[in-house]
Copies of this chain bind each other. A is one copy, B any other.
Amino acid sequence: MYVPNQMHKLTLKNIAKEIGVSISTVSKALKDNPEISEDTRQKIKAFAKLYNYKPNNIALSLKNRKTKTIGVIIPEIVHYFFTTVISGIEEVANQRGYNVIIGLSNESFQKEVINMEMLANGSIDGFILSVSKETQLLKDFHHLEETINQGMPIVMFDRTINEILCDKVIVDDSEGAKNAVLKLIDLGCKDVAIITTEDHVNVGKLRTKGYKMALRSRNISKSNEHILHLEERLYDPIFIKELEVVILDFLKLNPTIDGIFAVNEVYALSAIKAAKKLFKEVPKDLKVIGFTDGILSKYATPSLSTMSQHGKILGMKAAELLIRRLESTDVDFPFQTVIVETELIERETTKNI
């Protein structure tokens, strides 16, 4: 009678010794290789089943030179959008037999590089990543280039880099922004402002572009633009008060504003708070649309109309692109850029009353 060793996983070697056959016989039997006689096959399979044999993943990875795991590098995990993306990646990955390993850059170039190096040495088959703000700022992409040159495929999402050739999944930020602003105009807003980030944040820049496109398309001149660029740090909850003050000043300075498109939920909610202080009622006196259909939009009072980025779908697409490339024998598969459409979720802040 075989006594399973509590501390050591069952290996082919153990089974072979127990049954009295060779390792390769066991391997073949477990794979239902017809070479092996019905008799020994049964015996081996029964034994394996009884003691719950599971092949060692690491050994398989070494042998096959693929790990069946995907590395995901994101700037920040305490962030609704990124978590929806991860959930999408995970769903597709799992269903195709892949694991997901997560690295956080915390918006730091340094950490992004280290994390990628840590994973690129055999731990994963490919990356799905969204670069840190610092990387965007420094414009140093050597780590991405090197990874790709080593034959490790990368799929970039959301914050992508034009200079890097690889598969990409992006949100149509400028189009989404444009539609949001057009909606505000159509609702009767005469003076639509945008609250956005500094321009080096790519998605902020694109959304600002969309804002301008919308105004142009309705023949509103550049002199009637109201653009509030906010410093990076104001996004942090610890500066919530300061953020509100800055927006309040902006609204005071431009009292005719009756529509606001904010490039994220936080700016949108702060704008609503500021408006209240000025006795402007939302949506009666001021209509607001945000970006990202997160938890804040749903539970805000009034609930926030917003452009959904469909993060989960984005994640699913990214995982599909990566896995397709990993499993395709065709090395010269052309790179693809998938655009995930945004969608306006209409809630209370755009109600016409």
User: A residues near B, CB below 8 A?
Assistant: 6-9, 52, 54-59, 61-62, 67, 69, 77-80, 83-84, 86-87, 90, 94, 99-104, 115, 117-123, 146, 149-151, 237, 240, 265-266, 269-270, 272-273, 276, 294-296, 298-301
Which chain B residue lies CB-closest to A71? Answer: B99
Smallest CB separation, A160 vs chain B (Å):
22
4 nearest interchain CB pairs? A56-B122, A7-B151, A58-B122, A57-B122
Q: Which of B61, B94, B102 contacts A58 (CB 8 A)?
A: B61
Cα-based distance from A30 to B103 in the complex (angstroms): 27
Interface hub of A52, A102, A272 (most chain B Cβ within 10 A): A102
Q: Does the CB pair B295–A57 fall under 8 Å? A: no
Cα-based distance from A272 to B300 in the complex (angstroms): 11
Cα-based distance from A87 to B79 in the complex (angstroms): 11
Q: Does the CB pair B6–A57 fall under 8 Å? A: no
Q: Which of B84, B101, B294, B301 contacts A100 (CB 8 A)?
A: B101
Q: Does the CB pair A9–B122 fall under 8 Å? A: yes
Q: Does the CB pair B86–A102 fall under 8 Å? A: yes
Q: Does the CB pair A84–B90 fall under 8 Å? A: no
Per DSSP, chain A at the interface is helix
Known: A99-B119, A100-B102, A151-B7. A273 touches B301 (CB 8 A): yes
Cα-based distance from A250 to B122 in the complex (angstroms): 57
Cα-based distance from A327 to B263 in the complex (angstroms): 46
Q: Does the CB pair A54–B102 fall under 8 Å? A: no
Q: Does the CB pair B54–A58 fall under 8 Å? A: no
Q: Does the CB pair A90–B118 fall under 8 Å? A: no
A300 partner residues in chain B, CB cutoff 8 A = 299-301
A99 partner residues in chain B, CB cutoff 8 A = 101, 103, 118-119, 123
Interface hub of A8, A121, A272 (most chain B Cβ within 10 A): A121
Interface hub of A9, A54, A78 (most chain B Cβ within 10 A): A78
A298 partner residues in chain B, CB cutoff 8 A = 237, 240
Q: Does the CB pair A62–B58 fall under 8 Å? A: yes
Which chain B residue lies CB-closest to A276? Answer: B301
Q: Does the CB pair A57–B121 fall under 8 Å? A: yes
Which chain B residue lies CB-closest to A152? Answer: B9
Cα-based distance from A283 to B251 in the complex (angstroms): 27
Smallest CB separation, A224 vs chain B (Å):
30
Cα-based distance from A196 to B160 in the complex (angstroms): 43
Cα-based distance from A8 to B121 in the complex (angstroms): 11
Q: Does the CB pair A102–B104 fall under 8 Å? A: no
Instruction: Please name 9 further chain A to chain B contacts, defined as beta carbons within 8 Å, in addition to the given A58-B62, A270-B299, sorted by A numbering.
Output: A6-B149, A52-B146, A57-B122, A58-B67, A78-B87, A90-B102, A94-B104, A99-B118, A100-B103
A87 partner residues in chain B, CB cutoff 8 A = 77-78, 104
Q: Does the CB pair B94–A86 fall under 8 Å? A: no
Q: Does the CB pair A115–B102 fall under 8 Å? A: no
A69 partner residues in chain B, CB cutoff 8 A = 101, 123
A295 partner residues in chain B, CB cutoff 8 A = 80, 237, 294-296
Cβ contacts A to B, 19 pairs, < 8 Å: A7-B151, A9-B151, A54-B117, A57-B123, A78-B87, A79-B83, A87-B104, A94-B115, A99-B123, A100-B102, A102-B102, A237-B295, A237-B299, A269-B299, A269-B301, A273-B301, A276-B301, A295-B296, A301-B301
